[in-house]
Each structure stands twice: as C-alpha cells, then as structure tokens.
C-alpha cells in the first residue's frame, strides 16, 4: 500500500512538471499585456511601462522566465501579482475560506438531495416518483449554472426582494445576526451549485443502488428476515456508495473550476473570481498559481479516489 502511494506520488511529479510547462507556454503565447491600462493612457510615458516590464522580467526570453518561475516555486515563493503587487499566496489565502465555505455547503446540499432521492428512486424504479425525480435531475444538470443563477437573482432579489445578490465576505455584524446575514447571502449561490451537483449525483446514486439491489446477497438479507430499512441502509447503500464516493473525490477539482462563473455572477470573492479577474488583467503570476493549484488538485484527488476505492472495496489490490 505505502509502496503504491510512493510510486503514484513519484509519477505525479513529472506530470505536474509537464502541466506547468504547458500552462506557462500557453500563457506566454496568449496575447495581452498586464500594463494595458498604462498603454492606453496618454498621460503615462511609455518608459514607465517599459521599466515595469523589465523590472517584472517580462522582456526576458521564455525559457529564462519559466526556469525563474519554477525555481522560485520550488522554494515556495509563488511570486507577486502584477496588478496588486501582493504576494500570490496571500491573495489565494484571502479567497480560499469563502470558496471553501460556499463550495462545501453546495456539495453538502447536493449530497443531501441526491442520497435520499436517488435511493428511493432506485427502490421503486419507473414509479411516478422515479419519473418525476429523473425528469427534474435531467433538467437540473442540463441547465448551466450561469442561467439558473440569473433566474434566481431575478426571482428572489428583484421580484420578491428577499435575498441580496451581492456577496460580502466581511459582514459587519456579530452573533446570530452574522449567521443570519451569511445564510441569506449564501442561499442563492449555494442553491445554484448544490442543485446542479445534486442533479448529477442523483443519477449516479440511483444507478449504483439499482446495480446493487439486484444482487443475491440482498435477497439473502431479506430472506433471513431483516427489515426493509435495515437491508437498504446497512447492506445496499453501503455497497452502492463505493463508486459514488470515488466519483465525489474526482469531482472536487471540477467543482472549484465550475464555480468560477457562479462566483462572478454573485460577486463572491473566491478563487474563481480571482482567476477571472486575473485572466482579464493578464496577471500571469496569479493565473499561473491558480491553474497550477487546480491541476495539482486533479492529480491529488485522482490518487485519493484510487486509494479510497481500494479501502472501501477490499477486493481491489494495489500493485
């Protein structure tokens, strides 16, 4: 087991290295200029821009820039943002709690929806409940989050005037009021992301449960007189969840990237909106750091998914 982990980690190193090289090259080849605003302002002499470019090392050849980025990254120095001149790790750490809170709540909501509905649908396949749940699930994951986000804003903020649609990371209140305000502002983004996640997961839970419920050992459980509830909870769901758990692990990096648009719509100061504004401002060090973190997440969660699978299902051996 530990040998397997070590081997996988060693393989991950060249993969991550390759990813960083590709990312860096694409960013360097992409058109755009972090000092665009200086270029269009007639009152700023071009020397200022030229000086900043050379000071920030933008005029050096690509291999030099890449090696410099890589060596400082290895030493734990993520560089600083061209736009705000703040260290990139500080910027990311400022945004991370908000992202984790919103994405975590959304994921939780998704699970809370998917588990009971998926299981119940599978227990009574092709019943009216299953038909309705399936239809809604299809609707749910075919609607893109930016669309549901806008519809939610229109309905709950503008027509009904119940919820604010601008998210604020620092609410000037304490105690219950703070919790209440936070719940109010997080309600829409969490619902948008959670319902989308829930819709996808419902389908997975349903098919996983259907697969398991037909197996002989379930019949055995019933035959020995266990109640339906115990059969389903202890014998069916536990086994059906194995593929679902691995799927969740694989989805986590996807959630981060998928929340980018939702964060932009609700002005949530999370990682995703940081990525968007950095891309628009051609702020290479920040884009590089975030995309790099995302790709590391993919690699790591793939490994975690594999390990989880083996741990949940002892029939699988690591070699």
- The residues binding another protein (CB under 8 A) are 31-33, 35-52, 55, 80-81, 83-86, 91, 94-95, 153, 157-158, 161, 164-166, 168-170, 172, 264-265, 267, 269, 273-274, 277, 280-282
Query: 39 or 215, CB closer to another protein?
Result: 39
Taking the complex as a whole, how short is the minimal distance between the CB of residue 5 and another protein, in angstroms?
37
Query: 103 or 275, CB closer to another protein?
Result: 275
The answer to whether the CB of 67 falls within 8 A of the CB of 59 is: no
Taking the complex as a whole, how short is the minimal distance between the CB of residue 136 and another protein, in angstroms?
28
Three-state SS for the chain is CHHHHHHHHHHHHHHHHHHHHHHHHHHHHCCCCCCHHHHHCCCCCHHHHHHHHHHCCCCCCHHHHHHHHHHHHHCCCCCECCCCCCEHHHHHHHHHHHHHHHHHHHHHHHHHHHHHHHHHHHHCCCCHHHHHHHHHHHHHHHCCHHHHHHHHHHHHHHHCCCCCCCCCCCCCCCHHHHHHHHHHHHHHHHHHHHHHHHHHHHHHHHHHHHHHHCCHHHHHHHHCCCCHHHHHHHHHHHHHHHHHHHHHHHHHHHHHHHHHHHHHHHCCCCHHHHHHHHHHCCCHHHHHHHHHHHHHHHHHHHHHHHHHHHHHCCCCCCC
Taking the complex as a whole, how short is the minimal distance between the CB of residue 258 and another protein, in angstroms?
18
Residue 296, H or E segment: helix 284-312
Taking the complex as a whole, how short is the minimal distance between the CB of residue 31 and another protein, in angstroms?
4
Query: 77 or 228, CB closer to another protein?
Result: 77
Taking the complex as a whole, how short is the minimal distance between the CB of residue 85 and another protein, in angstroms?
5
Taking the complex as a whole, how short is the minimal distance between the CB of residue 270 and another protein, in angstroms?
9
Query: 226 or 293, CB closer to another protein?
Result: 293
Query: 19 or 52, CB closer to another protein?
Result: 52
Taking the complex as a whole, how short is the minimal distance between the CB of residue 253 and another protein, in angstroms?
22
Query: 2 or 43, CB closer to another protein?
Result: 43
Query: 65 or 267, CB closer to another protein?
Result: 267
């Amino acid at each position: 087991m530990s040998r397997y982990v070590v081997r996988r980690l060693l393989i991950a190193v060249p993969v991550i290295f390759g990813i960083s090289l590709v990312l860096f090259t694409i960013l360097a080849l992409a058109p755009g200029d972090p000092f665009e605003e200086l270029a269009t302002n007639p009152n700023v002499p071009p020397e200022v821009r030229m000086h900043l470019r050379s000071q920030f090392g933008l005029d050096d050849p690509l291999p030099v820039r890449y090696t410099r980025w890589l060596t400082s990254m290895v030493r734990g120095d993520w560089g600083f943002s061209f736009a705000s001149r703040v260290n990139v790790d500080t910027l990311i750490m400022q945004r991370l709690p908000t992202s984790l809170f919103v994405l975590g709540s959304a994921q939780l909501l998704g699970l809370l929806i998917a588990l009971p509905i998926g299981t119940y649908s599978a227990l009574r396949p092709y019943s009216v409940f299953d038909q309705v749940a399936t239809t809604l699930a299809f609707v749910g994951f075919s609607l893109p989050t930016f669309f549901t986000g806008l519809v939610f804003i229109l309905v709950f903020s503008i027509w009904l005037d119940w919820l604010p649609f601008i998210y604020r990371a620092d609410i000037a209140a304490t105690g219950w009021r703070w919790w209440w305000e936070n719940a109010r502002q997080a309600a829409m983004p969490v619902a948008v992301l959670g319902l989308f996640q829930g819709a996808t997961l419902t389908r997975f839970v349903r098919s996983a449960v259907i697969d398991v419920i037909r197996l002989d050992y379930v019949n055995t459980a019933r035959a020995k007189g266990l109640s339906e509830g115990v059969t389903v909870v202890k014998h069916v769901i536990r086994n059906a969840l194995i593929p679902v758990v691995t799927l969740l692990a694989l989805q986590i990096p996807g959630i981060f990237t998928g929340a980018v648009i939702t964060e932009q719509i609700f002005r949530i100061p999370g990682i995703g909106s940081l990525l968007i504004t950095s891309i628009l401002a051609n702020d290479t060090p920040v884009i590089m750091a975030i995309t790099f973190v995302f790709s590391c997440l993919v690699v790591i969660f793939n490994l975690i998914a594999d390990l989880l699978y083996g741990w949940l299902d002892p029939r699988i051996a690591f070699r």
